[in-house]
Amino acid sequence: MSDALTAASIATPAGTAPFPAAVRGEGVYLWDAAGRRYLDGSSGAVVTSLGHGNARVLRAMREQAERVCFAYARYWENRPDQELANRLAAHCGFGLDAAFFVSGGSEAIETCIKFARQLAVARGQTGRWKVISRLPSYHGNTLGALSLTGDPLLASIFAPLLAKMPKISAPLTYRLPVGHTVESWAAQAAAELGECIEREGPDSVLAFIMEPVGGTSTGALVAVDSYYRQIRETCDRYGILLILDEVMSGMGRTGRFVAAQHWPDCRPDILALGKGMGAGYTPLAAMLTSSALVAEVRRMGGFAHGHTYVANPLSCAVGCAVIDELLERELLANCRTQGDYLRAQLLELKERNPLVGDVRGRGLQLAVEIVGDQAACAPLPAAVGAMERLKNLCAERGLALLHRSTAGGQFGEWFMVCPPLIVTPSQLDELVDAFAGALAAFRDELAREGLL
């Protein structure tokens, strides 16, 4: 009997070569079944911040598992849940002293928008339901989160199942609309929020959601500082909630505990965390908000939301150990230092190889945009299959890198260069050497094919 199909094959086109099987992980490296070593250059999908096999996390896991693995959150409180909420309140700031733990980023986003909606109902603002988001953006793959995700290709498949939510332009910094500078485009993109609220009807708008540092959808987009202030001011002017999606950018990834701390005047009302919270050791994500907003929802009977694994003790114990490790090993500082070093190396690579169009991001949430023509900022023709080929050339050199082309490449295509926060300078040299080698080999291939 042949093997049953798994997610790896269900989610890839017919004829795709099977993925290598990961059989072991240690530090920033993974090994496949043939014994080949790969540097985990994107931390999986920007998840494994502590690398693999972290002793403290494994110990915390085992100790909690021996105490109790599961206690249903609608019957029991559990200590790791409380301790994790306390740690997050202390380190996130912004008065985010209420935490609702779930199993993944998409679930966290569902939780954020349902909480926002129930808050509006509690306030008697029952006409408010629209959540404005940006195009492009990524907020997850469940139906509610996908309604917010700004990806026309994904939306075209699932449109009949989705709520139609308004979108505004993302403040992209590369391949700008004609006549704009980075600053003028950011100002216009921020102004679109007010225009959109007016167009939709201010009393129908519940919230605005954005990734403060972009993830895969924009390739680590960072807007100019004034953008963040303008967004918060607009939310205040219309009394709408600001939701920051920090599923990727939170938990130290950008060199601050949460990326919002780079822009203190862009206070979130609600914030989503995921990925680096469980750091790949357990499925774990969160909605954070303030106890003042929770009090309003509790007055109408409490948050009408939850899943079986809410506030799971085993996952929360892992979350606590991840935070302790981040702080005690000063990994936020390492993230800033190594992020600067990596960015400088990637910028140097851009000088050497014209396939690199742009390098952007913050801390160790960096992306490298691949183009066919640096001057025109133009992607390679889709038929070239550049990203898949480059991914394979990287893999041949022992480097695992994640790539993404939002909406079939409509907004460009990039690699997420986001190694674990424990990475050392020599491991970064290894990463950049492998990446540079893959890019050079790809240029040779393109030249042989008459495409350069």
Ligand X SMILES: Cc1ncc(COP(=O)(O)O)c(C=O)c1O
CB 129 within 8 A of CB 144: no
3-state secondary structure of 178: coil
Q: Does 414 bind ligand X (CB under 6 A)?
A: no
Q: Does 245 bind ligand X (CB under 6 A)?
A: yes
CA angle 105, 108, 109 (to 5 degrees): 90
Nearer to ligand X by Cβ, of 139 and 232: the residue is 139
Q: How many CA atoms lie within 13 A of 268 on its CB side?
A: 30
Which stretch in 98-106, 124-132, 151-159, 199-207 sits in contact with ligand X by CB under 6 A? 98-106
Closest approach, Cβ 239 to ligand X, in A, equals: 25
Closest approach, Cβ 160 to ligand X, in A, equals: 22
Which stretch in 134-142, 302-310, 375-383, 418-426 sits in contact with ligand X by CB under 6 A? 134-142
> Can you give 255-301 as a three-state secondary structure string?
CCCCHHHHCCCCCCCEEEECHHHCCCCCCCEEEEECHHHHHHHHHCC
CB 217 within 8 A of CB 369: no
Q: Does 211 bind ligand X (CB under 6 A)?
A: yes
Residues in 31-50 at the binding interface with ligand X, rule: CB under 6 A:
45
Q: Name 174's Cβ contacts closer than 8 Å, sequence gap at least 6.
A: 357, 358, 360, 369, 377, 412
Q: Does 170 bind ligand X (CB under 6 A)?
A: no
CB 223 within 8 A of CB 173: yes
Q: Does 209 bind ligand X (CB under 6 A)?
A: no
Instruction: Evaluate the omega torsion of the peptide bond into residue 80 and state whether it is cis, within 30 degrees of 0.
Output: no
Q: Does 169 bind ligand X (CB under 6 A)?
A: no
Nearer to ligand X by Cβ, of 248 and 428: the residue is 248
Q: Which of 155, 220, 247, 316 binds ligand X (CB under 6 A)?
A: 247
CB 93 within 8 A of CB 261: yes
- 224, burial (CB in 10 Å: exposed 0-12, middle 13-18, buried 19+): middle
Which stretch in 209-217, 252-260, 307-315, 394-402 sits in contact with ligand X by CB under 6 A? 209-217
Q: Does 105 bind ligand X (CB under 6 A)?
A: yes
Nearer to ligand X by Cβ, of 252 and 274: the residue is 274
Nearer to ligand X by Cβ, of 245 and 369: the residue is 245
Residues in 256-285 at the binding interface with ligand X, rule: CB under 6 A:
274
Q: Does 219 bind ligand X (CB under 6 A)?
A: no
Residues in 71-90 at the binding interface with ligand X, rule: CB under 6 A:
none
3-state secondary structure of 413: coil
Window 135-164: contact mask with ligand X (x via CB under 6 A): ---xxx------------------------
Closest approach, Cβ 209 to ligand X, in A, equals: 9
Q: How many residues bind ligand X (CB under 6 A)?
A: 15
* Token pair belonging to 393: 């050339």
**DSSP label at 72?**
-
Q: Name 265's Cβ contacts closer than 8 Å, sequence gap at least 6.
A: 228, 229, 232
Q: Which of 106, 334, 338, 427 binds ligand X (CB under 6 A)?
A: 106
- Say what angle helices 331-352 and 313-328 make with each other, to 10 degrees: 70
Which stretch in 67-75, 208-216, 364-372, 423-431 sits in contact with ligand X by CB under 6 A? 208-216
Q: Which of 109, 135, 349, 359 binds ligand X (CB under 6 A)?
A: 109
Give me the numbers of helices (H) and strands (E) for the chain, helices first please: 14, 15
Closest approach, Cβ 207 to ligand X, in A, equals: 15
Q: Which residues contribute to the site for ligand X (CB under 6 A)?
A: 45, 104-106, 109, 138-140, 211, 215-216, 245, 247-248, 274
